[in-house]
Amino acid sequence: MTGPVVRVLVAFHSRRGHVETLAAEVAAAAGSVPGTEASLRHVSAVTRDELLGCDALVVGTPVHTGSMAAPVKQFFDDWHLRFDFYPDRPMRDRVGAAFAAGGQGDGGRELAMLGILSAMLHHHMLVVAGDSGIGASAATEGEAPGVAGADRERARALGRRVAEVAHRLRRGCDDQAGPLP
Ligand SMILES: Cc1cc2nc3c(=O)[nH]c(=O)nc-3n(C[C@H](O)[C@H](O)[C@H](O)COP(=O)(O)O)c2cc1C
């Protein structure tokens, strides 16, 4: 691997560990792509420099009352309030993606992930999904509580996809090769 190192930051909130489990899968899979450094952080610990130093950001949340949890919303609001990212939008053209855990199948996981992607789009990031339509998610309550093996695999697919797209963008930027194939 001779290309540039790509940095993937996985930022999450988790009260009971389900989102943290998904986050660990996302980060491990991203880090398995050659030339990628992946790091895991709670959203409250992410610094301005860590954001500006990453090529890709993947954000995970539990569903709380139908949408993203308050600490994750605070994280994005801080881009404006603490980090001074508006109006210049220095996260522009970095890769973004979302994952979530909710108790129920229809409890709001898609809305929570779309909220994260919407925040990223407001900052002109380039959002991607993994093997599924929006991001990776798990329903953690009901007949089979916890994070299922298939959910872990979708989280890994998301991590790999984010790292691969970030590498392609870096190569395109570095060698001025024009549009990606
Ligand atoms: C305050 C609160 C609100 C919740 N609201 C929802 C909800 O609206 N829909 C849903 O599917 N699950 C809801 N849940 C369940 C969590 O999303 C679910 O247990 C998730 O797996 C928690 O992730 P964590 O273990 O990473 O904290 C709620 C949990 C809490 C604590």
Query: Domain limits at 144?
Result: 6-175
pLDDT at 4 (0 to 100): 80
Tell whether 180 is covered by a domain. Answer: no
Q: Which atom of ligand 1 is nearest to the CA of 20?
A: 26
Q: One digit per residue, pLDDT tens: the chain, 181 residues?
A: 567 899 999 999 999 999 999 999 999 999 999 999 999 999 999 999 999 999 999 999 999 999 999 999 999 999 999 999 999 999 999 999 999 999 998 999 999 999 999 999 999 999 999 888 899 999 999 888 999 999 999 999 999 999 999 999 998 865 554 444 4
Nearest alpha carbon to residue 165 among 20, 58, 48: 58
pLDDT at 173 (0 to 100): 64
Ligand 1 geometric centre to CA of 69 (Å): 8
For a mutational test of ligand 1's pocket, the pick from 64, 104, 141, i.e. the residue with the most ligand atoms closer than 8 A to its C-beta, is 64
Q: How many domains does the chain divide into?
A: 1
CATH of the domain at 15: 3.40.50.360
Q: What angle do CA 27, 168, 124 make, to 5 degrees?
A: 80
pLDDT at 1 (0 to 100): 52
pLDDT at 142 (0 to 100): 85
- Which residue, by CA, sits nearest to atom 28 of ligand 1? 64
pTM of full prediction above 0.85: yes
Tell whether 25 is covered by a domain. Answer: yes
Q: Which atom of ligand 1 is nearest to the CA of 14?
A: 26
Tell whether 181 is covered by a domain. Answer: no
pLDDT at 179 (0 to 100): 47
Q: Which atom of ligand 1 is nearest to the CA of 141?
A: 19
pLDDT at 124 (0 to 100): 98
- Which residue, by CA, sits nearest to atom 30 of ligand 1? 64
Tell whether 83 is covered by a domain. Answer: yes
Which amino acids bring their CB within 6 angstroms of ligand 1?
A: 14-20, 62-66, 101-104, 107-108, 140-141
